[in-house]
Amino acid sequence: MSTEHKILLVDDEEDILEFLSYNLKKEGYKVYTALNGEEGLEVAKKELPNLILLDVMMPGIDGIEVCREIRGIPGLKDVLIAFLSARSEDYSHIAGFDAGADDYINKPIKPRVLLSRIKALLRRGQPVKDSIPEDLGGIRIDRESYLVHKEGQEISLPRKEFELLSLLASKPGKVFAREDILNKVWGGEVVVGDRTIDVHIRKLREKLGEDYIKTVKGVGYKFEF
């Protein structure tokens, strides 16, 4: 199978890089590698990959900080980022999503399972298509630039925060169930389930204020203005 997708692997263990690189290249992906966070940032800026698989624990700049820095680079803010880590604690997952990651994959993982997860990630890297009303109570959502404007101020959001907001704002007042949100924004294949939504909702509230996104206990979320 041949693909146009470029994947960057960032891990401080050379044997892991070689193993992953070998399996991904067999699938037709263009693969780049980096042994630390600083090198990973430089390769990402130069090659503009479609997906970055990022280790959490690395010397120097760790994976969490690398993810945060990548999300602040205009040409990379929409790149898919998945952490690949042996750390399986909930707080580590939350820290990863809080930094702007799209997925969190626990090591060890079998090559076929990893390839399936990568394909799912690349498939789900498409924005929500529902139309959005122009008048949202002082908020305007610009799909072309992935920017949100609130009362004249420009707010830049990571890909999944933007897609989650776009989904909720597409039908103000409608309650979106958690399962529906996961399927439409994450493709139904996230690692930590509802926690993922909660982290992204919290980040949106921090940036937009508490008034727009309402929690409907036991069901999901809705956008109101």
* Domains of the chain, each with CATH number or no CATH: 6-123 (3.40.50.2300), 139-223 (1.10.10.10)
Residue 94 has what pLDDT?
80
Residue entry with tokens 């008048």: 135
pLDDT tier, 189 (very low <50, low <70, confident <90, very high otherwise): low
Higher pLDDT, 192 or 53: 53
| pLDDT, tens digit (0-9, with 9 covering 90-100), for 92-110 | 778 888 888 888 888 888 8
User: How many helices, marked H, and strands, marked E, lie in the chain?
Assistant: 8, 11
State the Cα–Cα distance between residues 180 and 118, nearest whole angstrom.
22
- Per-state percent for the chain, helix, strand, coil, to nearest 5: 40, 20, 40
pTM for this model (two decimals): 0.61
> Are the beta carbons of 114 and 20 closer than 8 angstroms?
yes
Residue 2 has what pLDDT?
40
Average pLDDT over residues 188-213: 81
| pLDDT, tens digit (0-9, with 9 covering 90-100), for 151-187 | 888 998 888 889 899 999 988 889 999 888 888 887 7
State the Cα–Cα distance between residues 66 and 40, nearest whole angstrom.
8
3-state secondary structure string, 13-31?
A: CHHHHHHHHHHHHHCCCEE
Mean pLDDT of the chain: 85
